Amino acid sequence: MAATSVAVFFGGPSAEHEISIRSADSLIGWLSAGGLAVGAFHLRRDGRVGTATFAPLTAGDGEATALSRARPASTHSWGGALESLAGGKFDAGFPIVHGTLGEDGSLQGFLATIELPCVGCDVLASALAMDKQKTKSLLMATTELRMPRGETIAPHEAADEVGLIARLARLALPLIIKPVDGGSSYGLSRVTERAGLPVAIRLALGVEGSTGALVEEQVVGDEVTCAVIGDAARGIESLPPILIRPHHGGMFDLEAKYTHGATDEICPAPLPPSTLARIEAAAKAAYRAIGCRGFARVDFILADGVPWFLELNTLPGLTRESLFPRAVRAAGLELPALFRRLVEDAMHGSRARAKAAR
Ligand SMILES: Nc1ncnc2c1ncn2[C@@H]1O[C@H](COP(=O)(O)OP(=O)(O)OP(=O)(O)O)[C@@H](O)[C@H]1O
Ligand SMILES: [Mg+2]
């Protein structure tokens, strides 16, 4: 029997393009080590699609051989790429394009259109979770979760600086400003005086793909993140929470995220069992309310033992050093086996939905 074959999409137009390549690089390694055949689709910045195929790894190849394989040499127009996608060669699609296209529901909708089961969240959950403020509005209405107050500023509102400052007067300083739909801490800043708001808002709006600046009250406390896997039909499980301590003592910014050794990421988080249980329950509540499936990672600030929700990432980083893979290992799970299971779940889920629709 031919091996199950997965189309992995990565790259994309957002500021997280390079991070997505690194995520795909390790993901392709884990999928091949899990016995799956992989077709790589690199969504390049020039609009072309780079493709390559990888056979399943045999014992002894090791994961390392996947390194640097994710930059295919041959490129196509979308038409060419579509032909190979629609030819029945693949059993599932796995978008790992962080941000625009991959995390906002677009690629998920594209895969649904060409009837390829999609690993991870569907269109609605992806699109919703992409907007941090709309996600909080939903969670506020449907869960008991705590979360910071915030307001989104659209690009056309940024020029009226006096109006902006008046409108944001209801929010207490210090304030955190970030793209409402961005990731990886691009365009992130903290202001302690209202006069600093216009510059911070412009910075957040200037990030590639940003459609608004989220101005949010700062929650003071320890940073924790919790990965969740599964779906409502087959059960939802949380993985051990991770405590994040940037050495510079500030926020989990770009430097703290991507400079080797700049942050302590302790997994499982050395916290009392009751606090860990609270974080895991909060992460699962958010995952359930948004309607996620497959996998996701939920970010919180822990203030006096209470997790305050910041955001849910439907396509969290999957580089070798990323938080999601660390949580998987800490749970005693193997990454190749987990990703294989997520692919199989996507295939079964899609068959079940098709059957229910008939
Ligand atoms: N309201 C807040 N209070 C305190 N710190 C915050 C707040 N919002 C953001 N931060 C800090 O900024 C970091 C990035 O924020 P957030 O997780 O919302 O965005 P992100 O850039 O999408 O992250 P990711 O890379 O996880 O997708 C957080 O990890 C935290 O350190
Ligand atoms: Mg985050």
Same fold, 5-120 and 150-217: no
Q: Give the position, in ligand 1's atom list, of the atom nearest the Cα of 250.
A: 31
Residue 293 confidence (pLDDT): 97
Least distant ligand from the CA of 16: 1
In degrees, rounded to 5, the angle at the alpha carbon of residue 332 between the alpha carbons of residues 340 and 5 is 10
Reply yes or no on whether the pLDDT at 65 is more than 80: no
Interstrand relation of 242-246 and 92-95 (parallel, antiparallel or unpaired): unpaired
Residue 53 confidence (pLDDT): 82
Once rounded to an integer, what is the mean pLDDT over residues 165-193? Answer: 93
Is residue 187 among the annotated active site residues? no
Is residue 297 among the annotated active site residues? yes
Ligand 2 centre to CA of 182 (Å) is: 9
Q: Which of 227, 172, 218 is nearest to 194 (CA)?
A: 172
Q: Where are the domains of the chain?
A: 5-120, 128-146+220-314, 150-217
For domain 5-120, is the CATH number 3.40.50.20?
A: yes
Please state, for a pLDDT cut of 70, what percent of the chain lies above it: 95
Reply yes or no on whether the pLDDT at 64 is more than 50: no
Once rounded to an integer, what is the mean pLDDT over residues 250-254? Answer: 87
Phi/psi at 307 (nearest 5 deg)? Answer: -75, 125
Sequential DSSP letters for 103-132: TSSHHHHHHHHTT--BSS--HHHHHHHHSH
User: pLDDT tens across 274-330, in order?
Assistant: 999 999 999 999 999 999 999 999 999 999 999 999 999 999 999 988 999 999 999
Ligand 2 centre to CA of 259 (Å) is: 16
Q: Give the position, in ligand 1's atom list, of the atom nearest the Cα of 297.
A: 26
Q: How does residue 72 score in pLDDT terms, banded at 50, 70 and 90?
A: low
Is residue 317 among the annotated active site residues? yes
Catalytic-labelled residue, pool 44, 161, 258, 344: 258
Contact 239, 325 (CB under 8 A): no
Say what the pTM is. Answer: 0.94
Tokens of 34: 């899990």
Q: Which of 160-169, 252-261, 287-296, 323-332 has the lowest mean pLDDT?
A: 252-261
DSSP class of 73: S
Ligand 1 centre to CA of 300 (Å) is: 8
Q: How does residue 15 score in pLDDT terms, banded at 50, 70 and 90?
A: confident
Q: What is the mean pLDDT of the chain?
A: 91
Residue 59 confidence (pLDDT): 53
Distance CA 83, CA 245 (A): 47
Is residue 160 among the annotated active site residues? no
Residue 199 confidence (pLDDT): 96
Top mean-pLDDT range of 42-56, 57-71, 95-109, 131-145: 131-145
Q: Could you give the strand order of the β-sheet that contains 150-153, starting from the edge strand earlier in sequence?
A: 150-153, 213-217, 175-179, 189-191
The CATH number of 150-217, from 3.30.1490.20, 3.20.20.70, 3.30.70.2970, 3.40.50.150, is 3.30.1490.20
> Hey, which of 126, 175, 311 would you mutate to test ligand 1's pocket, going by the most ligand atoms within 8 Å of its Cβ?
311
SS3 content of the chain, % helix, strand, coil (to 5): 40, 25, 40
What is the C-alpha R_g of the chain?
A: 20
Reply yes or no on whether the pLDDT at 69 is more than 60: no
For 46, 221, 239, 290, 321, the CA distances from 140, given in Å and listed in that order, are: 40, 21, 24, 12, 32
Contact 31, 63 (CB under 8 A): no
Reply yes or no on whether the pLDDT at 114 is more than 50: yes
Is residue 299 among the annotated active site residues? yes
Instruction: Name which residue leads in pLDDT, 242 or 184.
Output: 242
Interstrand relation of 92-95 and 5-11 (parallel, antiparallel or unpaired): parallel
Look at ligand 1, atom 29, and give the residue with the nearest C-alpha.
Answer: 252
Catalytic-labelled residue, pool 181, 217, 265, 311: 311
Once rounded to an integer, what is the mean pLDDT over residues 262-284? Answer: 97
Residue 16 confidence (pLDDT): 86
Q: Give the distance between the most distant pair of CA atoms in the chain.
A: 67
Q: How does residue 62 score in pLDDT terms, banded at 50, 70 and 90?
A: very low
Q: If you classify domain 128-146+220-314 with CATH, what class do you get?
A: alpha beta
Tokens of 118: 């999609």
Is residue 249 among the annotated active site residues? no
Distance CA 280, CA 68 (A): 34
Distance CA 41, CA 46 (A): 14
Cβ of residue 218 lying under 6 Å from some atom of ligand 1: yes
Q: Which of 249, 245, 247, 243 is nearest to 262 (CA)?
A: 247
Cβ of residue 151 lying under 6 Å from some atom of ligand 1: no
Look at ligand 1, atom 15, and give the residue with the nearest C-alpha.
Answer: 185
**Residue 138: which region, alpha, beta or left (left: phi > 0; alpha: psi -120 to 50)?**
alpha
User: pLDDT tens across 203-234, in order?
Assistant: 999 998 889 999 999 999 999 999 999 999 88
Please state, for a pLDDT cut of 90, what percent of the chain lies above it: 73
